[in-house]
Amino acid sequence: MIEQTFRGDGVQHVIFTIGHSNHTPEKLASLLRANGVEVVLDVRSAPYSKFSPQFNRERLPAVLRPMRYAFMGDTLGGRPEGNEFYDEAGHVLYGPLSRSSSFLRGLEQVERNAQKYRIALLCSEADPSSCHRFLLISRTLRSRGFDPGQIRHILGDGSSRGEAAIGFQGLMLEDSWRSPLSVLPDRVPSHSSAG
């Protein structure tokens, strides 16, 4: 049975998240279909992989058909443009990113689509606890009033876990709210204008 709750004058479907990991295209599509997903929103900043080229942006619409596919990594990606979103070690600073106009525009699109369709946010990491789809996007959705019981993370074994079941051990205070790992190949240049 497909879960639904009502929100305002629209229907708030469950929002799923999933990582393509090293699945086959058939396995990814099967996991999404098993959860009734209609629209896949790709939240990878750079939807290309030398390890999993079957999930490159131009290939995904065919892999996912008849589900619809939309790229949203430009607004909801975990590697934003702009030095103001990184610390000196290259970690993404989730606080400033979560307040940026581009990110908020992307969240509004997710919220609107969740009232019309059964959606899944797609990234690459198998484990949501180490991915920005859990650490940043679903946390920000919750802070904006989205029912945490309506956010589910699809795992590779076919099960799905709710927000409360994701075991994250890191601090989530504003001053430490950042990506767990550096996401840049090199250190971010100094924020100072001295040169």
Q: Note the pLDDT of residue 173.
A: 52
Q: What is the pTM of this model?
A: 0.85
Q: Note the pLDDT of residue 53.
A: 86
Domain range list for the chain = 11-176
Per-position pLDDT tens, the chain of length 195: 334 333 344 555 799 999 999 899 999 999 999 999 999 999 999 998 888 888 999 999 999 999 999 999 999 999 999 999 999 999 999 999 999 999 999 999 999 999 999 999 999 999 998 899 999 999 999 999 888 889 999 999 999 988 877 765 454 555 678 898 888 765 444 444 333
Secondary structure E strands in 57-112: 68-71
Pick the CATH number of 11-176 from 2.40.128, 3.40.1010, 3.40.50, 1.10.3470: 3.40.1010
